Structure 1
Amino acid sequence: MGVFSALTTAVSGMTAQSYALENISGNIANSRTAGYKRVDTAFADLVPDAALNRQVAGSVAAFSQATNSIQGDLNPTRIDTNIAINGDGFFVVDQRQSGVGANTQFSNSNLYTRRGDFDFDANGYLVNGAGYYLKGLKIDQVTGQLVGTQPDVLRITKEQFPAKATSSIEYRANIPAVPATTQKSQGGTEFLNPASVTAAGAAPNPYAANAAVMGNNISSFLATSIPGGSVTVYDELGKATSVEMRWAKIDNGNPAANPATSGTWGLFVAQDTSATAAGDVAYVQAGQTVSFGSTGQMVSPASGDITLPTMTINGTTITGINLTTGGNGVTQNGDVSGQIDARSIRQDGYTAGTLDRVSVSAEGAVIGTFSNGQVVALAQVSVARFNADNSLKRLDGGAFEETIESGPPIIGLGTSQMVGGSVEQSNTDIADEFSKMIVTQQAYSANTKVITTAQEMLTAVFNIIR
Structure 2
Amino acid sequence: MSINGVFRTSVSGMNAQANRLSAISDNIGNANTDGYKRSETEFSSLIFAQSDGQYNSGSVTTQVRQTISQQGSTATTSSATDVAIQGDGFFVVQDANGRDFYTRAGSFVEKTQNVGGTETTYLVNTAGYRLTGTSLTDGTTGPIELPVGKLIAPKKTESAEFSLQLPSSATAVASGTAPTATSPADTAFTKKTSQVVYNQLGEARTLDIYITKTADSPANATDDWTVSIFDQAQSTNGGFPYAATSPETLVEYSLDVSFDPVTGLPTTPVGAQSLTLADGSSMDLDFKSLTQYGTDFSAKVTPDGNPAGFISEFKISDEGIVNGIMSTGDTVPLYQINLATFSSPDRLSAGVGNVYSANANSGAAVAGIPGVNGFGSLKSNAIEQSNVDLATELTDMIESQRSYSANSKVFQTGSEILDVIINLKR
Name the residue aligned to 1:119.
109
Equivalent residue number for residue 427 of structure 1: 387
Find out whether 1:368 has 2:324 as its counterpart.
yes
Residue identity in the other structure for 2:136 = I
Asked if residue 19 in structure 1 is aligned to residue 14 in structure 2, the reply is no
The offset of 1:67, in angstroms, is 0.9
State which of 397, 406, 417 in structure 2 corresponds to 1:446.
Answer: 406
Inter-CA distance 321–389: structure 2 relative to 1 (3 Å threshold): closer
Residue 353 of structure 2: aligned partner: 397
Which shifted more, 401-410 or 451-460? Answer: 451-460
CA distance in 2, matches of 1:347, 1:12: 67
The residue aligned with 2:127 is 130
The C-alpha deviation readout for 1:363-419, integer Å capped at 9, x for no partner, is 322233333443343211121111111111111111111110101011124241111
Do the aligned partners of residues 51 and 121 (structure 1) sit closer, same or farther apart at CA in structure 2, a change above 3 Å counting? same
Is residue 142 of structure 2 the alignment partner of residue 152 of structure 1? yes
Q: 1:226 aligns with which of 173, 180, 185?
A: 185
Deviation digits for residues 98-117 of structure 1, max 9, x if unmatched? xxxxxxxxx22211111111
The answer to which structure has the higher helix fraction is 1
How far did residue 56 of structure 1 move?
Answer: 4.0
1:221 aligns with: none
Aligned pair in 2 of structure 1 residues 128, 449: CA closer, same or farther (>3 Å)? Answer: same
- Structure 1 residue 428: deviation in Å? 1.2
Indicate conservation of the 8 Å contact 1:164/1:238, yes or no. Answer: yes
Residue 383 of structure 1 corresponds to 339
Q: Please report the TM-score for the alignment, with normalisation by the length of structure 2.
A: 0.66
Q: Is the 8 A contact 1:271 1:284 kept in 2?
A: no
Distance 1:284 1:5, change over 3 A: closer
Instruction: Name the CA distance, whole Å, in 2 between partners of 1:225 and 1:416.
Output: 54
Contact 1:392-1:405 at 8 Å conserved across structures: yes
Kindly indicate whether the alpha-carbon contact (under 8 Å) linking 1:168 and 1:321 is maintained by their aligned counterparts in 2: no
Distance 1:162 1:48, change over 3 A: same
Q: 1:416 aligned to 2:376?
A: yes
The one-letter code matched in structure 1 to 2:98 is N
**What is the alpha-carbon distance in structure 1 between the residues aligned to residue 100 and residue 300 of structure 2?**
49
Contact 2:157–2:283 (CA under 8 A) maintained in structure 1? no
Structure 2 Cα separation of the partners of residues 365 and 138 of structure 1: 10
Contact 1:166–1:321 (8 Å) recurs in 2? no
3-state secondary structure, aligned to 1:137 = strand
Rate the CA distance shift 1:376–1:404 in 2: closer, same or farther, 3 A: same
How much does 1:321 deviate? 6.8
Tell me if the contact between 1:369 and 1:375 (Cα under 8 Å) persists in the aligned partners: yes
Cα deviations by residue, 1:25-47 (Å, 9 ceiling, x for unpaired): 11111111111111111111111
Per-residue deviation at 1:168? 10
Task: Tell me if structure 2 keeps the 8 A contact 1:272–1:283.
Answer: no
Cα displacement string for residues 85-133 of structure 1 (whole angstroms, at most 9, x for unaligned residues): 111111111111xxxxxxxxxx222111111111111332000011111
The aligned length equals: 339
8 Å CA contact retained: 2:321, 2:336: yes
TM-score after normalising by structure 1: 0.61
Partners of 1:234 and 1:418 in 2: CA distance: 30
Q: Could you tell me how far apart the structure 1 residues matched to 2:283 and 2:388 are?
A: 61
Counterpart of 2:85, as a letter, is: I
Q: Residues of 2 paired with 1:446 and 1:345: CA distance?
A: 70
Residue 357 and residue 58 in structure 1: after superposition, are their counterparts in 2 closer, same or farther (change >3 A)?
same
Q: What's the RMSD between the two structures over aligned residues?
A: 4.4
* Distance in 2 (alpha carbons) for counterparts of 1:351 and 1:135: 26
Alignment partner of 1:36: what SS?
coil
Unaligned runs of 5+ in 2: 113-119, 162-171, 209-230, 238-242, 255-272, 287-298
Relative to 1, partners in 2 of residues 1:433 and 1:53: Cα closer, same or farther, differing over 3 Å?
same
Within a 5 Å distance, the mapping from 1:254-403 to structure 2 comes to 319-320=279-280, 351-403=307-359
Cα pair 1:382 1:411 within 8 Å, conserved: yes
Paired residues of 2:339 and 2:375 also in contact (CA < 8 A): no
Whether the 8 Å contact between 2:205 and 2:233 is mirrored in structure 1 is no
Query: What secondary structure, in the 3-state scheme, does the structure 2 residue paired with 1:125 have?
Result: strand
CA distance in 1, matches of 2:397, 2:176: 87
* 8 Å CA contact 1:161, 1:370 repeated in 2: no
Question: Which whole-Å CA distance do the structure 2 matches of 1:243 and 1:45 have between them?
Answer: 76
Specify whether residues 322 and 225 from structure 1 end up closer, same or farther in structure 2 by C-alpha distance, changes over 3 A only: farther
Is the alpha carbon distance of 1:166 and 1:176 closer, same or farther for their aligned partners in structure 2, counting shifts above 3 Å?
Answer: farther
Worse-superposed segment, 151-160 or 73-82: 151-160
